[in-house]
Structure formats: C-alpha cells, structure tokens
C-alpha cells in the first residue's frame, strides 16, 4: 500500500531536511516549501506524500 502522508521526522530520516526544528522554524516563518496538515499541536505535522514526491522530483532536476 502506498504511503499517503509523511511525518516531519520521516522527512529528516529521508535526508530531505537537517532537523525537525528546522522544519517547524521555517514553517512558522512561512518559508517552508511543503504544505502541512496539522492535527492538534505543532509537533503533529503530516505532509502529503504527493507533495513530498513532487518536492523530491524538483530537487533532483536542479
């Protein structure tokens, strides 16, 4: 079954970003490239798998 969402921690484990703190900080500044779905507090961020895959694809093309 294909994944539908990635957590902030999974993005860090995949090597896309340095830390979850960076993700939260840049998102708060409005500069984070991925749209997040929030459930409850800010630590419960989920990112749509299609958005993550598109971001990876655009990074590879650069």
| Number of domain units in the chain | 1
Report pLDDT for 40: 65
Start-to-end CA distance of the chain, whole Å, equals: 30
Q: What are phi and psi of 52, to 5 degrees?
A: -65, -45
Q: How many residues does the chain have?
A: 62
Judge contact between 8 and 52, C-beta under 8 A. no
Q: pLDDT per position in the chain (62 positions), as tens?
A: 677 999 999 999 999 999 999 998 998 899 998 988 876 665 678 999 999 999 988 877 65
Which residues constitute the domain of residue 16?
Answer: 5-61
């Amino acid at each position: 079954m294909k994944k539908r969402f990635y957590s902030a921690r999974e993005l860090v484990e995949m090597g896309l970003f340095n830390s979850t703190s960076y993700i939260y900080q840049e998102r708060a500044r409005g500069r984070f490239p991925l749209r997040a779905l929030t459930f409850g507090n800010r630590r419960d961020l989920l990112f749509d798998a299609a958005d993550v895959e598109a971001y990876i694809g655009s990074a590879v093309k650069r």
